[in-house]
Structure 1
Amino acid sequence: MALLFKVDDSRGSVWKSLFEQHAPDIDVRLWPDVGDPSHVRYFAAWQPPHDLPARFPNLEVIFATSAGVDQFDLVALPAHIQVVRMLDPGIAQGIVEYACFAVLSLHRQIPLYLRQQQAGVWKEHALTPARRRRVGVMGLGNLGVAVTQALRPFGFELRGWARSHKQVDGVQCFAGDEQLTPFLAQCDILICLLPLTDDTRGLLNARTFAAMPKGAQLINLGRGGHLIERDLLEALDNGQLSEAVVDVLEDEPPSPDHPFWNHPDIWLTPHIGANTSPDTAFEVLLDNLRRHQRGEAMNGVVARHQGY
């Protein structure tokens, strides 16, 4: 039985070392040194090669090294191969840190003050109390819930929206298409943490922005495919939105002439909201491997019909 990692060399060596120390019975291999392909039962990667099932005839489980799996072609994978999301607590921590940084920066008007600094302007602006700032989170899975709970101590009015009904402490929850517009109308700051599926692709569009209060702000921590980039540019240029913090794009890295690079109302970061760390993810992965070996259900198994 072998577990094959297709990750960068530095992370691969850490994974291999952790397994050698804590689970030496598992044969860990690092791509492209696959050895006998028939021995590979488990595969871990950000994005596997397209011919994975044919290359490894006894493959049983693919572990995504990410919280999302939209980069996988789930339709092309045989039904007997399970796909498992990475439930690394370090990912949640990273997303929480980024979301809090972005929300607090927008709330305290830091983009405005940075523009003033660059222009040599010393001018104070009135502060809106946190209790009067409405923060909405799209996506109430593990990451969305973690973000709402981290924001609660600041006193923001918290809203949440998901495809299905949820209950989250301290959060007014909305669900489904019929409640999307009422939710958006109450979001001064909107955070996208949705999984990318056929239903959510392109959801951050002109209609969505028009439903938000004028001058609202956007934080996209989901996937680049959620955002219609030209619609964001138009919403910023006509004042419907005032600022955006964008960590993910459809095409990464963007071309040198991409309009987000130099837009005065966009903060652009290179998909650094959270990264899987072997040190924090190892116990979760090993637990799932042991569960599978015992014939038990694993945590984070992707429902093919939902896409997450």
Structure 2
Amino acid sequence: MREALVFHSELDAAAPWVEALNAELPDLDLRVSPDVGDPEAVRYALVWKPPHGFFAPFTNLKLVVNLGAGVDALVARDDLPPVPITRISDPDMSRMMASFVLMAVLRHARDIPLFEKAQREGRWHYVQPRPADEISVGVLGLGELGGTAAAEIARQGFRVSGWSRTPKEIPGVACVSGMEALPAFLRASEILVVMLPLTPATRHILNAETLALLPRGAKLINVARGAIIDEPALVAALRSGALGGATLDVFETEPLPAQSPLWGMENVLITPHLASTAIPKSAAAQIAANIRRIQAGESVANPVDPQRGY
């Protein structure tokens, strides 16, 4: 009986993943949920938000691969099998994220929302551009994606600082760490980029109190997870002018409900959780390498610690 991998995602098309994995692992039997066949043959699972109880039939499972970098939805489950869990760590994902973040930073730094508003109103409106080295950008979260984005922003000449739970060093980025450093970091961030993983410690870490530490009129970019920010507090800050604008790719409830006040705010850009996605062609090699490690009895790369939440 050939070893099998089962694929499940309500969001991602299966065909590109099957094609990419077939090229890397031609001897592996690739199955797309719900057509899983004999569950005893399934040794590996490549998943994004599978339904509760999904793993139960796969009694010979050896590895779970999360279809993306963020694993909060997976590790929060109470039905995870006791096998290694890995996340996708792909340079192409990092580049995609960095380009989106840079776009959002430049859009706010160059006052593009003001010009969009002026165009809608038929007004010729001039705002003197500020040099990048006069604009302070804070990156909240310096993991693989956050660190790459922070370095790219710094490469464009912005004054970049970064905050993380543990100490980090990134050339061109003033890195600070620990909760005691968070208030000063926020006070210095004219543009705040949120790139933290969602864990019990980071849920609503940005709330009415911490958002109020940002300079008045600051801009906020969230490409991490919606629940890192208390959404009613965010709406209130945007309405009051405490926040001057926001670029939001993630939300506490997705899709964003039609009744959300964020939809109607002129100072908010909403995108549908697409800042960075897993790319089959480039990610398949990493998935295949971890499967070969499992087959050889070795430890996997990019493991997830369910206790830490990432």
Same fold (TM over 0.5): yes
Match of 1:141 in 2: 143
1:170 aligns with 2:196: no
Match of 1:268 in 2: 270
Rounded Cα–Cα distance in structure 2 between residues aligned with 1:17 and 1:252: 29
Q: CA deviation at 1:230?
A: 1.2
Rounded Cα–Cα distance in structure 2 between residues aligned with 1:164 and 1:77: 30
**The residue matched to 2:304 in structure 1 has which SS?**
coil
**Residue 287 of structure 1: which of 266, 289, 293 is its match?**
289
Rounded Cα–Cα distance in structure 1 between residues aligned with 2:229 and 2:220: 11
Match of 1:117 in 2: 119
**Residue 155 of structure 2: which of 153, 156, 161 is its match?**
153
Task: Please give the root-mean-square deviation of Cα atoms over the aligned residues, in Å.
Answer: 1.6
Q: Which amino acid aligns with 1:61?
A: L
Q: Which amino acid aligns with 1:23?
A: L
Q: CA deviation at 1:88?
A: 2.4
**The residue matched to 2:45 in structure 1 has which SS?**
strand
Q: Is contact 2:161–2:174 with CA below 8 Å preserved after alignment?
A: yes
Match of 2:99 in 1: 97
Q: Which amino acid aligns with 1:142?
A: E
Report 1:23-102 matches (<5 A).
23-74=25-76, 76-77=78-79, 80-102=82-104
**The residue matched to 1:58 in structure 2 has which SS?**
coil
Q: CA deviation at 1:80?
A: 2.6
Runs ≥4 in structure 1, deviation > 4 angstroms? none
Q: Which amino acid aligns with 1:191?
A: V
Structure 1 residue runs without a partner (length 5+): none
Report 1:227-266 matches (<5 A).
227-266=229-268
Structure 2 residue runs without a partner (length 5+): none
Q: CA deviation at 1:255?
A: 2.1
Q: Which amino acid aligns with 1:208?
A: T
Q: Is contact 2:53–2:79 with CA below 8 Å preserved after alignment?
A: no
Q: CA deviation at 1:260?
A: 1.0
Q: TM-score, normalised by structure 1?
A: 0.96
1:108 aligns with 2:82: no
Rounded Cα–Cα distance in structure 2 between residues aligned with 1:188 and 1:144: 17
Q: Is contact 1:90–1:275 with CA below 8 Å preserved after alignment?
A: no
Q: Is contact 2:93–2:278 with CA below 8 Å preserved after alignment?
A: yes
**Residue 208 of structure 1: which of 210, 216, 226 is its match?**
210
Match of 1:22 in 2: 24
User: Which shifted more, 111-120 or 74-83?
Assistant: 74-83
Q: CA deviation at 1:113?
A: 0.9
Rounded Cα–Cα distance in structure 1 between residues aligned with 2:162 and 2:183: 12
Q: TM-score, normalised by structure 2?
A: 0.95
Q: CA deviation at 1:189?
A: 0.4
Q: Is contact 2:249–2:270 with CA below 8 Å preserved after alignment?
A: yes
Q: CA deviation at 1:52?
A: 3.0
Q: CA deviation at 1:20?
A: 2.9
User: Which shifted more, 191-200 or 41-50?
Assistant: 41-50
Aligned CA distance change for structure 1 residues 134 and 102 (closer, same or farther; 3 Å)? same
Q: CA deviation at 1:7?
A: 2.9
Rounded Cα–Cα distance in structure 2 between residues aligned with 1:230 and 1:149: 31
Q: CA deviation at 1:251?
A: 1.0
Q: Is contact 2:9–2:49 with CA below 8 Å preserved after alignment?
A: no
User: Which shifted more, 103-112 or 197-206?
Assistant: 197-206
Q: Is contact 2:84–2:300 with CA below 8 Å preserved after alignment?
A: no
Match of 1:128 in 2: 130
